[in-house]
Amino acid sequence: MADTLFRAAEAEAEAALAERNRVHENVSVADLLGNAPEWQERAHCSQTDPEAFFPEKGGSTRMAKRICKRCEVKDECLEYALVHDERFGIWGGMSERERRKMKHGM
Ligand code: SF4
């Protein structure tokens, strides 16, 4: 019984990891830059660690937000995320939760 539970937990952990990796592959800062050529060259995150912009659940967003704060295309980036309903990561200095609140006027 314990062995079965262990295998189920292991499979669940593997699935969660695969999902996280899929998100990173599909929604990356590179993707952000690739879809927004007019401001890509001025994005501060293009010269930083993309992982900081897609922290694991519960992970710190402080470093990414600090970089965004000084980014000259912050407004364009945030608008892009809102228009494209980006669900993951830090965009324009805001987390997904902050963007959701903003979108729903809370
Ligand atoms: S606001 Fe942040 S996420 Fe957006 S382009 Fe600038 S540094 Fe990158």
Domain spans of the chain, in order of start: 2-105
The closest residue, in CA terms, to atom 3 on ligand 1 is 91
CB environment 69-91: b (16+ within 10 A), e (fewer): eebebbebbbebbbeeebebbbb
pLDDT tens digit string along 74-87?
Answer: 999 999 899 989 99
What is the rounded (10 degree) CA torsion for 85, 86, 90, 96?
A: 60
Residue 44 CA, ligand 1 centroid: distance in Å: 6
Q: Does the predicted TM-score (pTM) go above 0.85? A: no
With cut-offs at 50, 70 and 90, classify the pLDDT of residue 3: very low
| Per-residue pLDDT at 68 exceeds 90 | yes
Q: Is 3 helix (H, G, I), strand (E, B) or coil?
A: helix
Pocket test for ligand 1, best of 63, 90, 95, 99 (most atoms within 8 A of CB): 90
Residue 16 CA, ligand 1 centroid: distance in Å: 27
